[in-house]
Amino acid sequence: MTDKITIHINNKEYQVDLGQTIMQAADKLGFHIPRLCYHPKLSIEGACRVCIVEVEGARNYVASCAFPVSDGMKIHTNTQLLRKARRDIIELILDNHPLDCHTCERDGNCELQRLAASMGIRHRHFEGEKKHYEKDLSSDAVIRDPDKCILCGRCVRMCSEIQQVHNLTQAHRGFNTVVMPAYNMPMGDSVCTACGQCINVCPTAAFLEKNYTQELFEKLNDPDLIKVAQFAPSVRAAIGEAFGLEPGRNMEGELVAALRKLGFDYVFDTQFAADLTIMEEGSEFLERFQNGGTLPMITSCSSAWMKCMEQFYPDLIDNISTCKSPMSMQSAITKSHFANKIDVDPKKILSVAVMCCTAKKYEAARPELEVDGMRSTDIVVTTREAAWMIKSAGIDLLGIEPEEPDHPLGVSSGAGAIFGTTGGVMEAAIRTAYELYTGETLVDIEVAAIRGLKGIKEGKINIDGKEIRVAVAHGLGNACKLLDEVRRDPDKYHFIEIMGCPGGCVGGGGQPYAQVNTIPLDDEALKKRAEALYDLDRAKTIRRSHDNPDVQKLYKEFLHSPLSKVSHKYLHTHYKKKTPVGIVPKTQL
């Protein structure tokens, strides 16, 4: 029930719904008021003051993102004085910004750059001192560069409101205000989960992934190395956006071809390891379910979630599946069984993962994931980095002839594809667990209840007369909510899927930046990326992980059976409680 009211914008009368802000009303009427700190998924900050408008009768300009419309309101969005004020505000931001656009990673993709261009700032009146801070390069995944920061607070709100990690905050006052982790701790030592969502929402380059493209180019040119690539499910659903395509175009074949052209000797598909994960994780769940193991069992694919859990929910470590993530499984098999098969020293293999994720860079460096004393994944590059490399090498991704991934680690089922979206791991697991448990084939394999972008989704599956209660959360904030529920009522669920990023991997911290006139993490874009993966699933004849012939072959030749000794050596891991620095554990209080 909404009441209609009359407002005037720039002397024209409009009927709009009550209960919205000036910006929302104006958006619907086709007035795009310039904005910077505003993000529809985050709380209203009102900090940048770019979206100011004049409301007749008000003493000062009001921030249209925060101010509600009221009946009879007369709004001006474009008076000369207002334009001048807005222009000056943006100039003030530029005056304290490095303006090294040509050498900046966000060149061409920077919201501040676009905004400044649209304001027509041709002269600078107020130039003066600029802030200077050292770049924080301590993290394996996320770089913090306060010089580029314009203090819009999006990262702070993302980190606390959506992810509930609360790592970032504004510190100090006035001109010395800076966004940093608590106690100005290096990102690498902080509670940062490396999810990379700060990068996604940052309008400039104040947060970036740690870039490994130069190192990778160097290694790709090393003739002594066997270069092996894998790429995550959701990379194929998003990389096209970096080349100007609409979200949701599946670029799997093109990407395989491009990676070969970049110099990889073998291009495998992480979806293969996703199927492998389901074999192990599904079996692990049934083992726990049947033999009174710790339940609910919680998935372990998401690296940001792993760190989040070790820091904030160490009491639930026993609930976490011991399965490595698909990336680490794929790398482990690459450097063991595959190396054997092609008869090379695994030390000569360069194992590279193209991921939608920044936290995978952190994961790859975790010592417990080493295989036979070697790092299993040598280099992780994000979708963005891969896109840049493809462009930089002059490869025409859009015009390229699609190719198939290599054997023996390249074939995947539809279940492996949907790993890239929230609910996908659970759905894939259900398909296999049902069959492993009952010996019958699940007919209706699409589990609607756990699809979509709702924060926490619940479902019940009846397996052989037994009810299995499952829950799915995406985004660490939703995960925390769900786990608080588990702490209260440990018997509420049997099986839980958690993905650290909003929307799951399709919304990963390493995905292409929002294009012109779109917003980062737009729900529509996330849905389209997810839909591309569901389409991929539907198009496959093999839609269950255990039906993947290459997976079956791998068990026959190497792993024997799920949860076997060999499996445990290569495909499973363990977790440790991590006490965040500066936080005193309850036991010591």
Partner 1 sequence: MVDLRKGEQHVNDQKYKLTLCDGPTCIHNRSREIRESIESEIEKQGLSGQVSIHLSGCLGMCKKGPILIVNPGYVMYGQVQPEDIPAIIKSHLVEGNPVAGKVIQEDHLYNRFFRIFGDVDFFGKQMRITLRNCGIIDPENIDDYLSVRGYEALAKVLTEMKPTDVVAEVKKSGLRGRGGAGFPTGLKWEFTANQKSDEKYVICNADEGDPGAFMDRSAIEGDPHTVLEGMVIAGYAIGSRKGIIYIRAEYPLAIARLEKAIAAAREHGLLGDNILDSDFSFDIEIRLGAGAFVCGEETALIRSIEGARGMPRPRPPYPSVSGLFGKPTLINNVETWANIPVIVLDGGDWFNAIGTETSKGTKVFALAGKVRNTGLVEVPMGTTLRKIVYDIGGGIPNDKPFKAIQTGGPSGGCLPAEYLDTQIDYESLAKAGSIMGSGGMIVIDEDSCMVSLARFFIEFTQDESCGKCTPCREGTKRMLEILTRITKGNGKEGDIEKLQRLGRMIQKSSLCGLGQSAPNPILSTIKNFREEYEEHIREKKCRAGQCAALLSYVVNDKCVGCGACKRVCPVNAVEGTRKEKHRILEDVCIRCGQCYDACKFDAITKA
Residue 356 annotated as catalytic: no
Question: Given the complex with partner 1, which of 69 and 237 has the nearer CB atom?
Answer: 69
DSSP label at residue 12: E
Q: Which of these is catalytic: 281, 310, 385, 427?
A: 281
Q: Which of these is catalytic: 360, 361, 528, 540?
A: 360
State the nearest-atom distance from the C-beta of 70 to partner 1, in Å.
Answer: 10
State the nearest-atom distance from the C-beta of 139 to partner 1, in Å.
Answer: 23
Q: Are 360 and 305 in contact (CB under 8 A)?
A: no
Q: 10: burial class by Cβ within 10 Å (0-12, 13-18, 19+)? A: middle
- Among 8, 41, 76, 85, the residue binding partner 1 under the rule CB under 8 A is 85
Q: Are 548 and 282 in contact (CB under 8 A)?
A: no
**Per-state percent for the chain, helix, strand, coil, to nearest 5:** 45, 15, 40
Q: Are 432 and 281 in contact (CB under 8 A)?
A: no
Query: Which residues, including other chains, have CB under 8 Å from residue 45's CB and lie 6 or more apart?
Result: 37, 38, 65, 152, 153, 154, 157
Q: Which stretch binds partner 1 (CB under 8 A): 27-35, 149-157, 195-203, 533-541?
A: 149-157
Question: Given the complex with partner 1, which of 47 and 445 has the nearer CB atom?
Answer: 47
Q: Which of these is catalytic: 321, 351, 376, 412?
A: 321
Q: Which of these is catalytic: 45, 105, 254, 363?
A: 363
- Among 9, 25, 50, 433, the residue binding partner 1 under the rule CB under 8 A is 50
Question: Given the complex with partner 1, which of 88 and 531 has the nearer CB atom?
Answer: 88
Note every long-range contact of 339-347, with CB atoms under 8 Å and residues 24 or more positions apart, other chains counting.
341/408, 342/226, 344/226, 346/371, 346/372, 346/374, 347/374
Can you give the three-state secondary structure of 68-106, one letter per residue?
ECCCCCEEECCCHHHHHHHHHHHHHHHHCCCCCHHHCCC
- Among 48, 333, 418, 429, the residue binding partner 1 under the rule CB under 8 A is 48
For partner 1 (CB under 8 A), the number of binding residues is: 37
* Three-class SS state of 565: helix
Site for partner 1 in 158-187 (CB under 8 A): 169-170, 172-177
Question: Given the complex with partner 1, which of 87 and 457 has the nearer CB atom?
Answer: 87
Residue 310 annotated as catalytic: no
State the nearest-atom distance from the C-beta of 149 to partner 1, in Å.
Answer: 11
- Among 8, 18, 41, 46, the residue binding partner 1 under the rule CB under 8 A is 46
Question: Given the complex with partner 1, which of 63 and 256 has the nearer CB atom?
Answer: 63
Residue 287 annotated as catalytic: no
Residue 301 annotated as catalytic: yes
Q: Which of these is catalytic: 105, 209, 284, 310?
A: 284
CA distance 242 to 299: 30
Question: Given the complex with partner 1, which of 150 and 536 has the nearer CB atom?
Answer: 150
CA distance 372 to 540: 35
Q: Are strands 74-76 and 52-55 parallel, antiparallel or unpaired?
A: antiparallel
Site string for partner 1, 493-522 (x = CB under 8 A): ------------------------------
Q: Which of these is catalytic: 155, 195, 308, 505?
A: 505
CA distance 291 to 152: 52
- Report the sign of the C-alpha dihedral through residues 233, 238, 243, 249, in that order: positive
Backbone angles phi and psi of 312, in degrees to 5: -110, -20
Residue 65 annotated as catalytic: no
- Among 66, 99, 245, 449, the residue binding partner 1 under the rule CB under 8 A is 66
Q: Which of 219, 242, 216, 197 is nearest to 383 (CA)?
A: 242
* CA distances for 253 relative to 243, 250, 396, 412, 418, angstroms: 15, 8, 13, 13, 17
Residue 363 annotated as catalytic: yes
Q: Which of these is catalytic: 215, 246, 287, 368?
A: 368
Residue 284 annotated as catalytic: yes
* Three-class SS state of 220: helix
Residue 321 annotated as catalytic: yes
Decide if residue 44 touches partner 1 (CB under 8 A).
yes
Decide if residue 63 touches partner 1 (CB under 8 A).
yes
* CA distances for 170 relative to 173, 176, 182, 342, angstroms: 9, 10, 9, 53
Question: Given the complex with partner 1, which of 22 and 258 has the nearer CB atom?
Answer: 22
- Report the sign of the C-alpha dihedral through residues 470, 433, 280, 194, in that order: negative
Site string for partner 1, 89-128 (x = CB under 8 A): x--xx-xx----------------------------xx-x
Decide if residue 49 touches partner 1 (CB under 8 A).
yes
DSSP label at residue 572: B
* Active site residues per annotation: 281, 284, 301, 321, 360, 363, 368, 505
Q: Which stretches of the chain bind partner 1, using CB under 8 A?
A: 44-50, 52, 60-61, 63, 66-68, 84-85, 88-89, 92-93, 95-96, 125-126, 128-129, 150-151, 153, 169-170, 172-177
